[in-house]
Structure formats: C-alpha cells, structure tokens
Amino acid sequence: MSAFHNPLAPKFGRFKAKSAEIKGWVRELLELHEDTSLTVAELACRDEGCPDIETVIGILEPSKPIITIRVHSMMAEVTKLDVAEAAQKARAA
C-alpha cells in the first residue's frame, strides 16, 4: 500500500464524541428538552457564499421551523463559546 494522505477516508465514528459534546452544549445553552432531536454535521461546500468548511447544527422539533446554528470552523475545533455566540445569532435572525 503506498503512503499518501487520503482525504476521502470514511468519517464513520470520527466525530461521534465531539458531536455528542456539541449537542450537550446546545441543550444546555438553549434549555432544550431531552426529547428534542438535534443534528450536527461538518460540511465542506464549494457553493458561492458558503464557507469552505463549517459545522451546522439543526434543532429539529416536530411542527416547528428548524433552527439552524452555524459555526464557521471544523467540528473538532468548535467550542462552547462558539456555539453560544452562533446560537445567539440564530435566535436574533
């Protein structure tokens, strides 16, 4: 096997702990019920107007509009302060 950096390596499990940590922060900061579903994803999108990489958090409550929180950094680097600031922006929007 030749040695080279593989940017396509499957991501399964890589972000599991970080995703759980971010969800915990969101629940605490926004005082969400334990039953509220959250989604966390690291996206790399080349569409015009999109940052190269960002972490997108969706708050999915039945029969309510989805609230989207965006942090413009890799998931591994997201801090609780980032989430708090982004959540504040999302609330204000």
Partner 1 sequence: MTALDRIPVTVLTGYLGAGKTTLLNRILSENHGKKYAVIVNEFGEVGIDNDLVVDADEEVFQMNNGCICCTVRSDLIRIIDDLMKRRDQFDAILIETTGLADPGPVAQTFFVDEDVQSKTKLDAIVTVADAKHVLNEIDQAHEAQEQLALADIILLNKTDLVSEDELAEVEQRIRRINPTAQIHASERCKIALEEILGRNAFDLDRVLEIEPEFLKHFHHHHHDDHVTSFSLLSDAPLDPQRFLQWIQTVSQNHGPDMLRMKGIIAFENDDDRFVVQGVHMLLEGTHQRPWKPDEQRTTRLVFIGRGLPKEEIEQGFRECFVQEGIAAE
Please tell me whether residue 76 binds partner 1 under the rule CB under 8 A: no
Site for partner 1 contains 7 (CB under 8 A)? yes
* Cα(30)–Cα(91) distance, integer angstroms: 10
Give the list of residues 6+ apart from residue 31 with CB closer than 8 angstroms, or none.
none
CB of 85 to partner 1, least distance (A): 19
Residue 88: CB atoms within 10 A of its CB come to 12
User: Does 45 sit near partner 1 (CB under 8 A)?
Assistant: yes
Q: Is 81 in the site for partner 1 (CB under 8 A)?
A: no
Alpha-carbon distance of 57 to 59, in angstroms, equals 7
Instruction: Check binding of 56 to partner 1 (CB under 8 A).
Output: yes
Interacting residues toward partner 1 by CB under 8 A: 1-2, 4, 6-13, 15-16, 19-20, 23, 37, 39-41, 43-47, 49-50, 54, 56, 58, 60, 62, 66, 68, 75
